[in-house]
Structure 1
Amino acid sequence: MRIEGSVVLVTGANRGIGRSLLSEFLGRGAARVYAAARRPETLEKPAAGAAGRVIPLALDLTDPDTITAAAEAAPDVTVVVNNAGAHGVGHLLDMDLGLVESVMETNVLGTLRVMRAFVPVVERNGGGAVVNVISIGAFGATPALGGYPASKAALHSMTQAVRQDLAPRGISVHAVFPGPVDTSMLDYVIGHEPTFGDFPRATPAEVARATLDGLEAGEPDIFPDPFALEVQAEWRADPQALQERLSGIT
């Protein structure tokens, strides 16, 4: 996948990994980046030299009308990066069921809505790529993280399914599995479950660089930080041991 000259949509572009992905795409020569967020006014002003190359878009994964409007406003997209997501800490049998439903609605169905809206756009433009930012949580459920790992496991499965559907249409599909990343989302988790503070954190910039390296190399599954690579190796060697390790974090 050639990034230089591409036209990119990044959801959740106002913070964390999304903000770093936006900067990395610009640095590698993307012609234009549509920076999508629920509140586009929270997006930082483009860096010097990027004026005109960054276009803010309002997009809420739980509001289908905003997704449809975004696809109409961005008719030249060739790369779709599904980065936006939601979290909710708690144990599945005890926590507010509405919060579990919200996480699943956002991370799974919201991402599917974006793909359904933008895949025809990418196809009309001659093909390109879809990049889904998932999580190492897709490979093992941590009880204290509520519906988040379940949503990421579902997103992983969905990514595999659409990969098969989109290959004949000239669209490659890439799954990204970060480990703990130094973002406000991780701070939220640690605030509720301090044991997560024991894990090494990658920076959003490191994850963004590795993600785009994998995209350019055509890697279907991208493990963009040292801890994620460790999980990948353990998953391949002994999936049950990895599940027990991750489920032991309470």
Structure 2
Amino acid sequence: MSYSLKGKVALVTGANRGIGKSIVDAFFASGVAKVYLAVRNPESTQELQAQYGDRVVALPVDVTDEASVKRLAEQTRDVEILVNNAGVMNLVSPLDEGAEAALQHEFNVNVFGLLRTAQAFAGTLEANKGVLVQLNSIASMKTFGDMTTYCASKAAAYSVTQGLREKLGEKGVSVVSVHPGPIATDMGKSAGFDDAPQAEVVAASIVSALESGDFHAFPDEVAKQIEAAYQSYAENVILGEMSV
């Protein structure tokens, strides 16, 4: 089902830089009325506040803290578009001593953070007939050796996203799963992707997916290669009706 952004109220976690900041820009360009900037440190959003004035509201959140997420949800009951963009990545081989700690860290943010956020906002999204946008990755479908723990967390997040599509869908809430390839954010550059596409391509794909009513969004050329190979499986298994 297509979803119009005009006049809507959005909330973006991790909105202070990279993909999150680009989503804020793209949302305003598409007619969104207000955006909550949900970040660990609201002071880090000063550039966006200077640019958009009272159309943005910066609020603190730590997605690893259930109480913090619930507090955020209580403050933002007018949210119609929730973008769960906050995420972390550790570069570590599964054979390294630090792999277990890295996996725990990434799961706490990338997986449990999604669960905490979806649960806290489920009632608001149902009441407002809203939509949840989850930033996943091609790493949810393909594992890369020195990103093994990150890929495992994104695979788990993608699985949770599918479950949320089913259960939130029963409440009239749409879900979008976004799967970028390498993007030239601080996180991407730390992994050596200096020449990767800019974050704007991800933001544009989210707007397009919302307007077209798509569940999956594959923003960049690398992601589109995955999409081409994955499309039949996605249509027949992920999005298809199956009895179990």
Give the TM-score normalised by structure 2.
Answer: 0.89
Aligned to 2:177: 175
Aligned to 2:220: 225
Q: CA deviation at 1:7?
A: 0.7
Q: CA deviation at 1:219?
A: 0.6
1 CA distance for matches of 2:117 and 2:186? 24
**Alpha-carbon deviations, 1:7-52, whole Å to 9, x = none?**
1010110110000001111111111100111111111333677221
Unaligned runs of 5+ in 2: 235-244
1 CA distance for matches of 2:156 and 2:68? 23
2 CA distance for matches of 1:27 and 1:238? 34
After superposition, residues 1-250 of structure 1 pair within 5 angstroms as 1-46=3-48, 50-96=52-98, 97-125=100-128, 127-190=129-192, 201-236=196-231
Q: CA deviation at 1:237?
A: 7.2
Match of 2:108, as an amino acid?
Answer: E
Alignment CA distance shift 1:95-1:146 (3 Å): farther
Unaligned runs of 5+ in 1: 191-195, 240-250
Q: Secondary structure at the match of 2:175?
A: strand
2 CA distance for matches of 1:95 and 1:202? 32
- Worse-superposed segment, 173-182 or 223-232: 223-232
Alignment CA distance shift 1:145-1:52 (3 Å): same
Match of 1:158, as an amino acid?
Answer: V
2 CA distance for matches of 1:238 and 1:4? 33
**Alpha-carbon deviations, 1:182-210, whole Å to 9, x = none?**
110011122xxxxx56xx61111121112
Match of 2:104, as an amino acid?
Answer: E
Give the TM-score normalised by structure 1.
Answer: 0.87
Please give the root-mean-square deviation of Cα atoms over the aligned residues, in Å. 1.8
Q: Secondary structure at the match of 1:35?
A: strand
1 CA distance for matches of 2:233 and 2:31? 40
Match of 1:46, as an amino acid?
Answer: L
Q: CA deviation at 1:166?
A: 1.2
Q: CA deviation at 1:227?
A: 1.3
Sequence identity percentage: 36
Dislocated runs of 4+, deviation >2 Å: 44-50, 234-239
**Alpha-carbon deviations, 1:157-196, whole Å to 9, x = none?**
1111111111121100110000110110011122xxxxx5
Match of 1:114, as an amino acid?
Answer: T
8 Å CA contact 1:77, 1:122 repeated in 2: yes
8 Å CA contact 1:92, 1:100 repeated in 2: no
- Worse-superposed segment, 172-181 or 56-65: 56-65
